[in-house]
Amino acid sequence: MPGTRSKQMVEELKKLQISSPDIQASAVVSVDGLIIASALPGSVEEDRVSAMSAAMLSLGERISVELRRGDLDQVYIRGDNGYVMLTSVGHEAVLTVMASVNAKLGLIFLDIKRTAETLSELI
């Protein structure tokens, strides 16, 4: 059964990338920094993505609490070559998405939210 859920999560990540062509990669990472499911290109190291995602989620949650901004919803990073967006998937995981520099963020945020809701049911 766990293998089936993992496959379903990978399918959801692939659907996300198909629905938004500007999304280049995605992964579901546990709060402990372990990959649960991924749709990452071969040039991206899963271990590196998982460790950094867990660290950013933890830091984002701490900032949100310390600055009294409420429960963390997203962490958003913009660099010269694109975006990295992290969204909570329940209390157990985070959805990490990498998008191109010219991405239409409004549509991507909507797709990410829908995918996170679906993934939370699979975890």
Question: Domains, the chain, ranges and CATH?
Answer: 2-122 (3.30.450.30)
Model pLDDT for residues 49-108, shown as the tens digit of each residue:
999 999 998 999 999 999 999 988 899 999 999 999 999 998 889 999 999 999 999 999
> Pairing state of beta strands 82-89 and 35-39?
unpaired
**The pLDDT of residue 59:** 93
The beta strands (E) that lie in 41-90 are given as 74-79, 82-89
- pLDDT at site 2: 53
> What integer pLDDT is reported at residue 24 of this predicted model?
95
| CB-based contacts of 11, cutoff 8 Å, min separation 6 | none
Structure tokens that stand for 68 in this block: 């009294």
Tokens 């901004």 locate to 69
Which tens digits make up the pLDDT trace of 2-56?
Answer: 568 889 999 999 999 999 999 999 999 998 999 999 999 988 899 999 999 999 9
